[in-house]
Structure 1
């Protein structure tokens, strides 16, 4: 039995935790040695309790490792252990690293690129959505990978924005790889894989999903990254847990400032006060990394504005300045009648120059 299979076997036994496996390794030396212990040797282990010993003895005979591996194979899920060379190096050195990782997609992208994690609210404002998509897209256009948690809200928009560029996006789950949660994001997970990205989890097939899985998942999001951006977050957001973990792991922490009257800005403003770097554009992020391969690239986005009226150009320039606007605000700022604004907005949407956000607000695509 090789190392990763020994880890897989032990982690499949009821009651075996990462901490327990660590204690076993301290006593037996190499993880593979556990399978060769006889019943007496197992009961003589000093650092684990009797229930765990009984489970190991019981499952030595009735737990079929081949069946576990076959189920992974049927679901096209691969796995590695912390002692494998392919294991992400940054993750290996965090506190309490996962001993096993289950994944679909291209694992090599983690070690080959700069990886930036982006997290935020599950109930974002249109401003937060716009920032998430634009920042992730612009970083991706520099060849930078984006890591997030495949949750609804900011996470989803960060994954989607990344796929508009050349970087790859990595979804870290709080459930098993075959059980995408929330289920509404299963199509997004498939799109990530089709785009050459990665879906990863520390949980095996059929693992029970508990509320504690998701805060635990956050240490992997930050651990895989070179830095974490909090896009939008309330005062008690899970995104702030990820930011705290990133600081503990020695990662850079960035925050997008927001409207002082919005509850969704409170978390970002709090960590900015505590020392997170305020960012207004991606240069504020790239300045922290000495890597000419992406710092010297120029973002080149050309919009097809041929044939647009002066009023349409006026609306585009206004939205560029303001970021996100509703139709009434466009009318107030341009003096153009609402009937004409509606016609122009429809034309700009058809030409993919604008995108419609929540609550009938519009932003530059």
Structure 2
């Protein structure tokens, strides 16, 4: 099924990930010519799952509107050099696909290949201490020097520092945002966003062009930051807010949680709970982080290859190359 079909389905009210994945498992249709084609796709899916009494069938007018929106999104995205990647595309981020609530579509400005590199998310408060900002920048640089793409949310504070650190080291960084890519939020980071793209990084959103910010979108965005990454590094945070959401998603997604030893209330809470994590106290703890992320990578790749072997007899297994912690650059 092509991107237009998936985008059209995604624009129909009440059609979410569950319905779209049901459709994708029941049809091989690659071309969408009319609203009636989309109706037929949904009918085929509902026929296969006829015992599901909650199946939803939109009317023809809803489908017409959705198809028109999808065409407009595609045309506008092309004009703005925004790539649209669906879960059926080979370059959909392999680790993100492993989370249960992965986005059906991703909208990408810049280097989409960066999404399939080994990533670490570095997150924290918008109003850090000088120490927190300095550490986030140093950590962004450290992990970039050691081959990791640094993921954050383009917010002021810790996010900004992490992105800057990666850029200063000549590395790649990805900003995951909670709005359409025809705008940048906050505007104070417009220049930073431009630098990220200029240096072969990417700005990513699950929302199409024209989508304005909503508070709930930030929470949904946080699952993507952790889902793209092998680990989430919490630098400085309070007990509430987006950083804690990202940390919780990290745990649910079985990624490595790393917490900087810091007196901030959120850091103290994360360090004291009974869940598995690495408490980062000194530079050499970076070796522990790398080793833990290598282990997570192997687990994820084994799962990916196992799923691939079930669905296809012809496949190339994902390489299990790991970063050698013995050769890490540890100078902060």
Query: What is the TM-score when the length of structure 2 is the normalising length?
Result: 0.79
> Offset at 1:12?
3.1
Aligned length: 291
Q: Which residue of 2 aligns with 1:296?
A: 327
1:54-133 correspondence to structure 2 within 5 Å: 54-59=60-65, 63=68, 65-112=70-117, 114-133=118-137
> Offset at 1:10?
2.0
Tell me the SS of whatever aligns to 1:124: coil
Q: Which residue of 1 aligns with 2:56?
A: 49
Consecutive unaligned residues of structure 2, counting only runs of 5 or more, are 295-321
Task: State whether structure 2 residue 149 is matched by structure 1 residue 145.
Answer: yes
Q: Which residue of 2 aligns with 1:362?
A: none
Consecutive unaligned residues of structure 1, counting only runs of 5 or more, are 260-264, 302-365
> Offset at 1:43?
8.6
1:57 and 1:247, CA in 2 relative to 1: closer, same or farther beyond 3 A? closer
> Offset at 1:123?
1.0
1:1-365 correspondence to structure 2 within 5 Å: 2-25=1-24, 28-30=26-28, 32=30, 37=36, 41=40, 45=46, 47-49=54-56, 52-59=58-65, 63=68, 65-112=70-117, 114-259=118-263, 265-274=264-273, 275-288=276-289, 289=291, 290=294, 291-293=322-324, 295-298=326-329
Tell me the SS of whatever aligns to 2:132: helix
2:38, 2:122 → 1: CA distance?
Answer: 48
Residue by residue over 1:69-111, the C-alpha shift from the partner in whole angstroms, topping out at 9 and shown as x without a partner, is 2211111101110111101100001011001010011121232
> Offset at 1:129?
0.6
Q: Contact between 2:222 and 2:245, CA under 8 Å: does it hold in 1?
A: yes
Tell me the SS of whatever aligns to 2:250: helix
1:111 and 1:25, CA in 2 relative to 1: closer, same or farther beyond 3 A? closer
1:162, 1:39 → 2: CA distance?
Answer: 44
1:43 and 1:154, CA in 2 relative to 1: closer, same or farther beyond 3 A? closer
Query: What is the TM-score when the length of structure 1 is the normalising length?
Result: 0.72
> Offset at 1:56?
4.2
Residue by residue over 1:142-183, the C-alpha shift from the partner in whole angstroms, topping out at 9 and shown as x without a partner, is 222110011111111110111111321000011112221112
2:168, 2:41 → 1: CA distance?
Answer: 53
1:286 and 1:79, CA in 2 relative to 1: closer, same or farther beyond 3 A? farther
Q: Contact between 1:143 and 1:294, CA under 8 Å: does it hold in 2?
A: no
Q: Bigger CA drift: 66-75 or 157-166?
A: 66-75
Tell me the SS of whatever aligns to 2:240: coil
Q: Which has the larger radius of gyration?
A: 1
